[in-house]
Amino acid sequence: MSAVQIRTLGIEGVREFTPPVHQDDRGCFSSPYQDAAFTGATGRPLFPVKDISHNLSAGGVLRGIHYTATPPGRAKYVYCPYGQVRDFVVDLRVGSPTFGRWEVTELSGENCRALYIPVGVGHAFLSLRDDSMVVYVMSQGYVPEHEHAVSPLDPALGLPLPAGPAPRLSGRDSAAPTLAEARDKGLLPTYDACREVEAALWP
Protein backbone atom coordinates (compact mmCIF):
# COMPACT_ATOMS: atom_id res chain seq x y z
CA MET A 1 0.00 0.00 0.00
CA SER A 2 1.43 3.39 -0.93
CA ALA A 3 2.19 6.02 1.69
CA VAL A 4 -0.37 8.15 3.47
CA GLN A 5 0.02 11.84 2.64
CA ILE A 6 0.32 13.85 5.86
CA ARG A 7 -0.17 17.58 6.17
CA THR A 8 0.35 19.73 9.26
CA LEU A 9 -2.29 22.45 9.29
CA GLY A 10 -1.80 25.99 10.57
CA ILE A 11 -3.46 25.23 13.92
CA GLU A 12 -1.16 23.65 16.46
CA GLY A 13 -1.74 19.92 16.80
CA VAL A 14 -4.10 19.48 13.84
CA ARG A 15 -3.03 16.89 11.25
CA GLU A 16 -4.58 15.90 7.93
CA PHE A 17 -4.17 12.34 6.63
CA THR A 18 -4.94 11.42 3.02
CA PRO A 19 -4.61 7.66 2.45
CA PRO A 20 -4.32 5.92 -0.90
CA VAL A 21 -7.68 4.95 -2.39
CA HIS A 22 -7.86 1.75 -4.43
CA GLN A 23 -10.63 1.75 -7.01
CA ASP A 24 -11.87 -0.77 -9.56
CA ASP A 25 -15.14 -1.70 -11.22
CA ARG A 26 -16.45 -3.09 -7.90
CA GLY A 27 -15.96 0.13 -5.92
CA CYS A 28 -13.12 1.28 -3.71
CA PHE A 29 -11.07 0.43 -0.63
CA SER A 30 -9.14 2.72 1.71
CA SER A 31 -7.88 2.94 5.30
CA PRO A 32 -8.57 6.42 6.75
CA TYR A 33 -6.62 5.56 9.90
CA GLN A 34 -3.23 3.87 9.73
CA ASP A 35 -1.31 3.57 12.97
CA ALA A 36 2.17 3.78 11.46
CA ALA A 37 1.32 7.02 9.65
CA PHE A 38 -0.36 8.58 12.67
CA THR A 39 2.43 7.60 15.06
CA GLY A 40 5.05 8.82 12.63
CA ALA A 41 3.35 12.22 12.37
CA THR A 42 2.50 12.75 16.04
CA GLY A 43 4.98 10.59 17.95
CA ARG A 44 2.21 8.49 19.53
CA PRO A 45 -0.67 6.24 18.48
CA LEU A 46 -4.27 7.37 18.40
CA PHE A 47 -5.86 7.93 21.80
CA PRO A 48 -7.74 5.06 23.49
CA VAL A 49 -11.12 5.15 21.73
CA LYS A 50 -14.15 5.73 23.97
CA ASP A 51 -16.82 6.56 21.40
CA ILE A 52 -17.46 6.24 17.65
CA SER A 53 -20.37 8.21 16.19
CA HIS A 54 -21.56 9.38 12.80
CA ASN A 55 -24.12 11.72 11.30
CA LEU A 56 -25.80 11.98 7.92
CA SER A 57 -26.48 15.43 6.48
CA ALA A 58 -28.45 16.79 3.55
CA GLY A 59 -26.73 19.16 1.15
CA GLY A 60 -26.50 22.69 2.54
CA VAL A 61 -26.52 21.62 6.20
CA LEU A 62 -23.92 23.39 8.35
CA ARG A 63 -22.98 21.77 11.67
CA GLY A 64 -20.78 23.39 14.31
CA ILE A 65 -18.59 25.01 15.45
CA HIS A 66 -18.69 22.37 18.21
CA TYR A 67 -16.30 21.79 21.09
CA THR A 68 -16.22 20.12 24.51
CA ALA A 69 -15.71 21.87 27.84
CA THR A 70 -12.18 21.24 29.13
CA PRO A 71 -11.90 19.45 31.40
CA PRO A 72 -13.01 16.84 30.46
CA GLY A 73 -12.26 17.74 26.81
CA ARG A 74 -12.39 15.43 23.80
CA ALA A 75 -9.95 14.78 20.99
CA LYS A 76 -11.42 13.64 17.66
CA TYR A 77 -10.41 11.76 14.55
CA VAL A 78 -12.87 12.63 11.78
CA TYR A 79 -13.46 11.39 8.24
CA CYS A 80 -16.19 11.27 5.58
CA PRO A 81 -16.74 7.79 4.10
CA TYR A 82 -19.62 8.88 1.86
CA GLY A 83 -20.56 12.20 0.26
CA GLN A 84 -18.55 15.41 0.48
CA VAL A 85 -18.12 18.11 3.13
CA ARG A 86 -16.20 21.34 3.49
CA ASP A 87 -14.59 20.83 6.88
CA PHE A 88 -13.48 23.58 9.27
CA VAL A 89 -11.31 23.48 12.37
CA VAL A 90 -11.06 26.56 14.60
CA ASP A 91 -8.62 27.08 17.46
CA LEU A 92 -10.75 27.94 20.50
CA ARG A 93 -7.99 27.50 23.10
CA VAL A 94 -7.52 30.80 24.92
CA GLY A 95 -3.80 31.45 25.13
CA SER A 96 -2.92 29.27 22.13
CA PRO A 97 -0.45 30.79 19.67
CA THR A 98 -3.03 30.10 16.96
CA PHE A 99 -6.16 31.16 18.92
CA GLY A 100 -9.00 32.23 16.62
CA ARG A 101 -7.34 30.82 13.50
CA TRP A 102 -9.33 28.51 11.22
CA GLU A 103 -8.35 26.00 8.55
CA VAL A 104 -10.52 24.46 5.85
CA THR A 105 -10.20 21.20 3.96
CA GLU A 106 -12.40 18.87 1.93
CA LEU A 107 -13.37 15.44 3.19
CA SER A 108 -15.15 13.02 0.90
CA GLY A 109 -15.81 9.41 0.08
CA GLU A 110 -13.50 9.83 -2.89
CA ASN A 111 -10.41 11.13 -1.08
CA CYS A 112 -11.01 9.27 2.25
CA ARG A 113 -9.13 12.08 4.01
CA ALA A 114 -9.18 12.27 7.81
CA LEU A 115 -8.37 14.93 10.40
CA TYR A 116 -6.94 14.68 13.88
CA ILE A 117 -8.53 17.43 15.99
CA PRO A 118 -6.89 18.06 19.37
CA VAL A 119 -8.69 18.86 22.62
CA GLY A 120 -10.04 22.43 22.54
CA VAL A 121 -10.08 22.85 18.76
CA GLY A 122 -13.59 23.45 17.42
CA HIS A 123 -15.03 21.53 14.48
CA ALA A 124 -17.65 22.38 11.86
CA PHE A 125 -18.58 21.23 8.38
CA LEU A 126 -20.83 22.18 5.50
CA SER A 127 -22.41 19.26 3.63
CA LEU A 128 -21.87 19.72 -0.12
CA ARG A 129 -24.02 16.72 -1.16
CA ASP A 130 -27.11 14.99 0.12
CA ASP A 131 -26.49 12.09 2.49
CA SER A 132 -22.94 13.11 3.37
CA MET A 133 -21.73 11.03 6.30
CA VAL A 134 -19.15 12.16 8.85
CA VAL A 135 -17.63 9.67 11.28
CA TYR A 136 -16.17 10.75 14.63
CA VAL A 137 -13.71 8.61 16.58
CA MET A 138 -13.43 10.19 20.04
CA SER A 139 -11.38 10.06 23.19
CA GLN A 140 -14.40 10.51 25.50
CA GLY A 141 -18.07 9.64 25.44
CA TYR A 142 -20.83 12.14 24.76
CA VAL A 143 -22.10 14.13 27.76
CA PRO A 144 -24.65 16.75 26.65
CA GLU A 145 -23.87 19.31 29.34
CA HIS A 146 -20.20 19.34 28.33
CA GLU A 147 -20.91 20.17 24.70
CA HIS A 148 -20.76 23.79 23.49
CA ALA A 149 -20.86 25.72 20.23
CA VAL A 150 -19.55 28.92 18.67
CA SER A 151 -21.45 30.47 15.78
CA PRO A 152 -20.15 29.35 12.37
CA LEU A 153 -21.59 32.58 10.97
CA ASP A 154 -19.51 34.82 13.24
CA PRO A 155 -18.40 37.61 10.86
CA ALA A 156 -15.20 38.14 12.85
CA LEU A 157 -14.17 34.56 12.08
CA GLY A 158 -15.23 34.83 8.44
CA LEU A 159 -15.40 31.13 7.58
CA PRO A 160 -15.34 30.77 3.76
CA LEU A 161 -18.91 29.66 3.15
CA PRO A 162 -20.14 29.59 -0.46
CA ALA A 163 -22.44 32.27 -1.81
CA GLY A 164 -26.03 31.29 -2.43
CA PRO A 165 -28.81 29.99 -0.21
CA ALA A 166 -28.20 30.35 3.52
CA PRO A 167 -26.95 27.12 5.10
CA ARG A 168 -29.30 25.09 7.29
CA LEU A 169 -28.35 25.20 10.98
CA SER A 170 -29.80 23.57 14.06
CA GLY A 171 -31.51 25.80 16.61
CA ARG A 172 -28.55 25.30 18.93
CA ASP A 173 -26.01 26.39 16.31
CA SER A 174 -28.14 29.35 15.19
CA ALA A 175 -28.23 30.63 18.79
CA ALA A 176 -24.54 29.99 19.50
CA PRO A 177 -22.44 32.95 20.67
CA THR A 178 -19.69 34.51 18.60
CA LEU A 179 -16.10 33.71 19.47
CA ALA A 180 -15.72 37.02 21.32
CA GLU A 181 -18.96 36.49 23.26
CA ALA A 182 -17.96 32.96 24.25
CA ARG A 183 -14.57 34.21 25.42
CA ASP A 184 -16.10 37.09 27.41
CA LYS A 185 -18.47 34.65 29.13
CA GLY A 186 -15.63 32.32 30.09
CA LEU A 187 -17.01 29.49 27.95
CA LEU A 188 -13.82 28.73 26.02
CA PRO A 189 -11.15 26.30 27.21
CA THR A 190 -7.65 27.47 28.05
CA TYR A 191 -4.65 26.36 26.07
CA ASP A 192 -2.87 25.02 29.16
CA ALA A 193 -5.90 22.99 30.30
CA CYS A 194 -6.31 21.49 26.82
CA ARG A 195 -2.65 20.48 26.61
CA GLU A 196 -2.85 18.90 30.06
CA VAL A 197 -5.93 16.86 29.12
CA GLU A 198 -4.37 15.90 25.79
CA ALA A 199 -1.18 14.66 27.45
CA ALA A 200 -3.21 12.54 29.89
CA LEU A 201 -4.82 10.61 27.02
CA TRP A 202 -1.64 8.56 26.71
CA PRO A 203 -0.81 7.16 30.18
**All structural domains of the chain with their residue ranges:** 47-200
| Catalytic-residue membership of 22 | no
- Mean pLDDT, rounded, of the chain: 96
The predicted model gives 100-126 an average pLDDT of 98
Q: For residue 1, is pLDDT > 50?
A: no
| Catalytic-residue membership of 67 | no
Of 77, 79, 116, 136, the active-site residue reads: 136
Q: Which CATH number is 47-200 given?
A: 2.60.120.10
Q: What is the DSSP string of 80-147?
A: EEESEEEEEEEE--BT-TTTT-EEEEEEETTT--EEEE-TTEEEEEEE-STTEEEEEEESS---GGGE
pLDDT of 151-201, one tens digit each? Answer: 999 999 999 998 888 999 999 999 999 999 999 999 999 999 999 999 999
* Residue 36 confidence (pLDDT): 95
The predicted model gives 137-146 an average pLDDT of 96
* Residue 164 confidence (pLDDT): 84
Q: For residue 76, is pLDDT > 90?
A: yes
* Residue 2 confidence (pLDDT): 58
- In a 13 Å sphere around the CA of 15, the CA atoms on its Cβ side amount to 22
pLDDT of 78-109, one tens digit each? Answer: 999 999 999 999 999 999 999 999 999 999 99
